[in-house]
Structure 1
Amino acid sequence: MNHWLMKSEPDTFSIDDLKRKKREAWDGVRNYQARNFMRDGMRVGDGVLFYHSNCTEPGIAGIAAVASDAYPDPSQFDPESKYFDPGSSRDHPRWMLVDVTFVKKLKRTITLEELKHHPALERMTLLRKGNRLSVMPVDAAEWRYILDLE
C-alpha cells in the first residue's frame, strides 16, 4: 500500500464535503507530476492524507482512500469547465483523476506549522521549499508519524 497527500481548498471541497458525499472524483489536477502520481502510482486502497490548503490554517484535516484506478478527467473535454484543455483529446487524454472515499475526519487539523516543527518529517515532500504540488507521495514512516500526532 502506498500513501499520498492530496490538497484541496476547503471552500471548494473539504473533508466535510467528502464525508457527506462518501466518494468523489479528484478532478482538476493540471500539473504533470501530480497527474503522473495519480496515473502511475496510485492504487485502489492506498491511504490519502486530506490536506486543506489556501486557507487560514492549512493542514491535514482527514483521511481518505484511493477508490479507483486512474481514468481520464472528463472536465478536460468540457468547454464550459474551468479545467477545459483544448489540447487534450478523448483518444489521447492529457489529464487523469482517481476517485477517493472518505475514511475519517481527524479530531483536529494537524497544521502545516505544526508539521514543520517535527524533525521526523523534515524530508517530507510537503515541507520542501517551493513545493506546490496538489498530489504527492508520503512515505510509510511519515504516514504513521502523522497519524500518531492526532
Structure 2
Amino acid sequence: MPHWLMKSEPEELSIHDLQRLGRARWDGVRNYQARNFLRSMAVGDLFFFYHSSCPEPGIAGIGRIIATAYPDPTALDPQSPYFDAKAGAEKNPWSALDVEFVEAFPQVLSLARLKAAVALAELPLVQKGSRLSVMPVSTSEWAAVCTLR
C-alpha cells in the first residue's frame, strides 16, 4: 500500500481538527505535481499529517484516504482563498479528496528531528528547496518515521 505525506496549516486544518471531525475534505492544493500525487491515491492509503507554516512544523499524526480524487469545489468558489478564475464546472484542473483521522502523535515530530534521521535523507520533505504539499513516502521511510514517535 502506498504511503504519503500531506501538509496543512494547523489554523486551516490540524490533526486535532481531523480527530474532532473524524473526516474532512482535503482541498486547496494548487501545485500540479502535488495534485497528480492526490490523483494517484487510493482508498485505504495512509498519510502522515504534517503541520506547516506554524511555530512547530512537523508530522503531527496519521490519516487515511477514504475517497479518491474528485474536482476541488474550492476552485469554483469566489469566496474561497483557493478560487481559480480559470477553472470552470466543465474544466476544473484541481482535485480534492476525503480523509479520515487515524492517530495523533503525542508530540509533533519536528522538521529538525526528521532532517537528523539518516534513514530519511531521501525523503523529499527534508531535501533543500522541496516545498510540495503532497508527496510519496517509501515503505522504509514510513517505518523510520514510525520508530521516531
Mapped to 2, the partners of 1:68 and 1:148 lie a distance apart of: 28
Q: What residue in structure 2 maps to residue 120 of structure 1? A: 119
- Residue 14 of structure 1 pairs with residue 14 of structure 2: yes
| TM value normalised by structure 1 | 0.97
2:46 aligned partner, one-letter code: G
The alignment yields a C-alpha RMSD, in angstroms, of 0.8
What is the rounded CA distance, in whole Å, between the counterparts of 1:112 and 1:141 in structure 2? 18
**How many residue pairs are counted as aligned between the two chains?**
149
1:11-38 Cα deviation digits (max 9, x unpaired): 2211000000111000111111110001
Q: In structure 2, how many angstroms separate the alpha carbons of the residues matched to 1:90 and 1:21?
A: 28
Q: How far 1:107 sits from its partner (Å)?
A: 1.6
Residue of structure 1 in register with 2:65 after alignment: 66
d(CA) in 2 for partners of 1:57 and 1:75? 27
- 1:103 counterpart letter in structure 2: V
**Structure 1 unaligned spans of 5+:** none
Percent of pairs identical after alignment? 52
Q: Structure 1: which 4+ aligned runs deviate by more than 6 Å?
A: none
Deviation at 1:134, TM superposition (A): 0.7
Secondary structure of 1:50 counterpart: strand
Tell me, what secondary structure is at the counterpart of 1:28?
Answer: coil
- List alignment gaps of at least 5 residues for structure 2: none
The one-letter amino acid paired with 1:22 is G
Q: When the two structures are superposed, what TM-score results if normalisation uses the length of structure 2?
A: 0.97
Give deviations 1:66-99, integer Å, cap 9, x for gaps: 1111000101111121111111121121100111
1:55 aligns with 54
Listed one character per residue, the Cα deviations across residues 15-65 of structure 1 (whole Å, up to 9, x for unaligned) are: 0000001110001111111100011x2000001100011111111000000
